[in-house]
Structure 1
Amino acid sequence: MPTLLRLRAAALTATAVLLTTVLAGCGDDDAKDEDLTRQELSWKACPAPDEAQGEGAPPSPLPDGGEWQCATMKAPLDWDDPKGDTIGLELIRVRTTGDASERIGSLIFNFGGPGGSGVTALPGFAEDYETLRTRYDLVSFDPRGVGRSDPVICENDQELDAYFQQDATPDDSAERTALLDSTTEFNDACEQNSEKVLPHVRTTDAARDLDLMRQVLGDDKLHYFGISYGTELGGVYAHLFPKRVGRAVFDAVVDPTQNPEQGSLGQAKGFQLALDNFAEDCVSKTEECPIGDSAQDVKDRIATLLKDLDRKPIPGVFPRDLTQTAATNGIVQALYSQDFWEYLTDGLDQAYDGDGSILMLLSDSSNGRSENGEYDNSAAAHTAISCSDSKPRYDTAFVERKLPEFRAASALFGDYLAWGMIGCTDWAVAGAADHPDVSAPGSAPILVVGNTGDPATPYEGARKMADALGKGVGVELTYRGQGHGAYNSKNKCVQGAVNGYLLDGRVPKAGTVCT
């Protein structure tokens, strides 16, 4: 199902692999009278990821021999009752390579989602941040409701297979009813299986967890690297604790001024732009583009494929067929990064010959489905956090009124993203606000990095975030590139600016442009 923000790190890592027991529960009575800020973490070798994290092998040591360590931090289940029941938040770290005299502290990462496991994501991306490791311990975590941190559980694997195979772009009343019924069943399952944790997974809760984490790790200030949804979490933290912000970078920036409707419409435009760029890139290569003679031909053939799949799916990953919804989701997943455009080309070329396996693998990756048919809890956590954060509740009549506007933004993705707005229908917990408050007067400077070709968090969001943080706080940097995020593009200008701030405290000039 389409969502406001998809998972960056965990999903892309899973895609690369596909294509080439909760640790601490609620209600620890012994912890009720503890000062949780004084807890000492028991760091140990990391176990293999569990099902909610996506399973797999334990993280391998880094090339220099750096070992991964994991620990569980206790936090209040309900921050309005900090002496009450606790939950366990799973953390991961690798120690700095530098001298103790040069160490700044811990640099905490959130790679996005909401719903992405930072415990599994950080090892997959750590080599990209080796320069930052010279002065920081690199730390990430599973936010509450995610992975090993008291995960939200909704439907089982078989039910999720059906959920993600359904027609997410209904054409008639019967299909609309089926989509709404399926959404209601999913949301009811979340309430039934995760009733205790559902009211406590808002971004404001996670921000308070971050501040507790800062104290437990021994830092006077929070040094932070937020990507995608991680920028929203960072902005909310800065609003709640402006004087405790240390050096912080926001990359692939969420527009904090938008409600879910505006965010979905922005994504429709963003993914259409990414598709346009993909098509132009394919036909501009010296070798013949195998999926179209011109950029328009590439897009026309994709549109025809999706219409055909709506009528008759093709074989995907046995025993499932590639449906229109799965194909659209697979295309969206590949557009997150220019590194995956080659997979999209191969997947489309294959699908035109009646084989939908590559597009289905891309879709599975986005949905958190492993090759053995088991799902992580990213979709459940994403829904729970998003619906708890966002006050609006959209019905089918609202979506139908908005369809022309979404189709104008993207003929290919408009319906898909518009119908995704019904995901919080009848959610068990009321939404907190129309959009997050990130105003942070008195905060240290926060470097806000926007990518002009970002499909998932369109470039305009960076300016909106910088403005909302406040004068003298948000410092905008522009990267003229492609894909979701800028630092991971390995652009030397972007990395130089980010590294210069995080390592040496040099704030780039506002308005700096990297190409």
Structure 2
Amino acid sequence: MAAGCSDNGDRGGRDPERPTELATQKLTWDACPAPSLQEGTGTAPSPLPGGTKWECSFMQAPLDYADPGGETIELALIRARATDPAKRIGSLIFNFGGPGGSGITGLPSFAKSFESLRSRYDLVSFDPRGVGRSEGVECQDDPELDAFFALDSTPDDAREEEVYQEGLKRFADACEENSGDTLPHVGTANAARDMDLMRQVLGDAKLHYFGISYGTELGGVYAHLFPKNVGRAVFDAVVDPTGSGEQGALGQARGFQLALNNFAEDCVKRGAACKLPGSSAKEIEDFITDLLARLDKKPIQGLGDRKLTQTQATNGIAQALYSKQYWPYLEQGLDEADGGDGGLLLALSDSMNGRDQNGDYSNLQAANAAINCVDDKARFSVEQAKAKLPEFREASPIFGPWLGWGLISCSQWPVPGTWEHPDVSAPGSAPILVIGNTGDPATPYAGARAMAAALGKGVGVELTYEGEGHGAYSIGDACVKRTVDAYLLDGRVPKSGTVCP
């Protein structure tokens, strides 16, 4: 791996020295408390069907796997025990993506979708290092984050460029000041090593895994590092592991544009029931482009004393495209913003940024930045990003500039990156089921095929879902659920190239 020559504490090589003493630690499981502020607000998770209660614990892991006997950190875990202990296979570990998403809050939120799998698995998730309760990265305080997320991230002149760069610098400086000792060690390769330690501590001979979105990249890196330890694994909403960060952003521009077009086409088909102006998808998209241009010149009333800016509106639109279930909110939010009320689009943007109604932020975006910037080696200058903008605008007039300027988001970061792209080749691994959704905006469909090929012949098994949204299994399609459950519960590997529904 490229990580072998990096300077970020990720020097363990393909199969690093195991922290043998930590592998024998015994976990103490207790009733789960309410989520911490860094994980997001809420109440303690409710019992599952049948009365099964969620249990939480902490696992010790090396801060630096190059020094497995050195300083340790605590990783927060959550589990729900299998309903049929006599037929239990082991633990099924989940990562719901981000990077930066809390598994402690994510697993209970999505547990209903995975209830069938609990018949033979303990469902387990965790806050990866740098996330939530697991030594969560801290950067700016809540008022500072309000200002940061309101920045114009698609600057139009030299002064706006300077202001944007200054904002990125203040954010990075705050991360270094508040979490500098942790930042070099929160990369994906170390999170994968944490999962292998977790496998041992949980008493499993193999790692059974369900990765979603970024969780597929984490799973791919795990399979590369520990191919012989892979059990039954599913990757859903698949990140393309073969492209650079720039190529990933360009792919997202195309993916969000496709999803927006599908949303607009649906609006047109509903005729007068659609609140947005336009008799074609292009006219609706032109309306959105015009709305964003107006917001660039003059933000409108949002929530409380906060305004809706162009950047926040774009962020809110993207958030609503993650699921077809959000399309009615997107339509309503766009219609209201056209009339001067930006509250709904700002609420959608807040959701993307991890802000609750009380103005408190989780560490979702702080962890996202920390993990992405220690993984990705690229450091773009303003001039380099501007040179890429025509290609990004061609991919998406609406999302292209937003994602193109995003290339400079790590330019001020205090820790060097690790790789141009992760190595996920996993010769000798058990089959891994790789699910691609044809309408996925955030991890475009082509990524699934690239992941399956990169895992290697006989390892990556492709399953296609022809539909909308980010991911496939939790959408509830009967074909996808039947195929995945048959693999995870009974070990029946589908034919690669299977298409659902």
Which TM-score tier does this pair reach, normalised by the shorter chain?
Answer: over 0.9
Paired amino acid for 1:500: A
Aligned equivalents of 2:149, 2:404: Cα separation in 1: 16
Q: For residue 39 of structure 1, what is the amino acid of its counterpart?
A: Q
Q: Is the 8 A contact 1:106 1:136 kept in 2?
A: yes
1:471-511 Cα distance to aligned partner (Å, 9 max, x none): 00000111110010010111111111110100000000000
Please report how far the alpha carbon of residue 252 of structure 1 lies from its aligned counterpart in structure 2 after TM superposition: 0.2
In 2, distance between residues paired with 1:289 and 1:137? 45
The aligned counterpart of 1:389 is: 375
C-alpha deviation, 1:401, in angstroms? 0.5
Q: Corresponding residue for 1:116?
A: 101
2:385 is aligned with 1:403 = no
Matched position secondary structure for 2:238: coil
1:182 equivalenced with 2:167 (yes/no) = yes
Q: Which residue of 2 aligns with 1:332?
A: 318
**What 5-or-longer segments of structure 1 have no aligned partner?**
1-32
Aligned residue in 2 for 1:235: 220
Match of 1:136 in 2: 121
Matched with 2:456 is 470
1:171 aligned onto 2:156:
yes
Counterparts of 1:324 and 1:101, CA distance in 2 = 56
Structure 2 counterpart of 1:438: 424
1:304 to 270, 284, 290: 290
For structure 2, the residue ranges without an aligned partner over 5 or more in a row are 1-18
In the alignment, what sits opposite 2:308?
Answer: 322
AA aligned opposite 2:348: L
Could you tell me how far 1:34 is from its partner in structure 2?
Answer: 7.9
Matching of residues 87-106 of structure 1 within 5 Å: 87-98=73-84, 100-106=85-91
Amino acid across the alignment from 1:237: Y
- Normalising to structure 1: TM-score of the pair? 0.93
State which of 233, 243, 255 in structure 2 corresponds to 1:258.
243
Q: Which residue of 2 aligns with 1:278?
A: 263
Q: State the one-letter code of the partner of 1:178.
A: V
Is the 2:38–2:132 contact (alpha carbons within 8 Å) kept by the matching residues of 1?
yes
Runs of 4+ in structure 1 off by over 4 angstroms are none
Q: 1:427 — aligned with what?
A: 413
Residue 12 of structure 2 corresponds to none
CA shift, 1:183, in A, is 0.5
Matched, 1:222 2:222: no
Shift of residue 184, structure 1, vs aligned partner: 1.1
In 1: Cα distance, 2:383 partner to 2:42 partner: 43
**TM-score (ref. length: structure 2):** 0.95
| Offset of residue 426 of structure 1 | 2.7
Q: Give per-residue Cα distances to partners, 1:448-470, cap 9 Å, x unaligned.
A: 00000000000000000000000
Note the C-alpha offset of 1:285.
2.1
Q: Give distance in 1, aligned partners of 2:41 and 2:466.
A: 36
Q: Is the 8 A contact 1:283 1:292 kept in 2?
A: no
Q: Distance in 1 between matches of 2:336 and 2:397?
A: 23
User: Which residue of structure 2 aligns with residue 149 of structure 1?
Assistant: 134
Give yes or no for contact 2:168–2:412 (8 Å, CA) kept in 1: no
* Aligned partner letter, 2:313: A
What are the Cα deviations for residues 404-436 of structure 1, in whole angstroms up to 9, with x where unaligned? 000000001110000011110131111111000
| CA apart distance, 1:286 | 5.9
SS at match of 2:470: coil
User: Which amino acid in 2 is paired with 1:291?
Assistant: L
Structure 2 distance, partners of 1:187, 1:448, is 35
Q: How many residues align?
A: 482
Which whole-Å CA distance do the structure 1 matches of 2:111 and 2:475 have between them?
14
Q: CA deviation at 1:288?
A: 2.1
Secondary structure at the aligned position of 1:325 is classed as helix
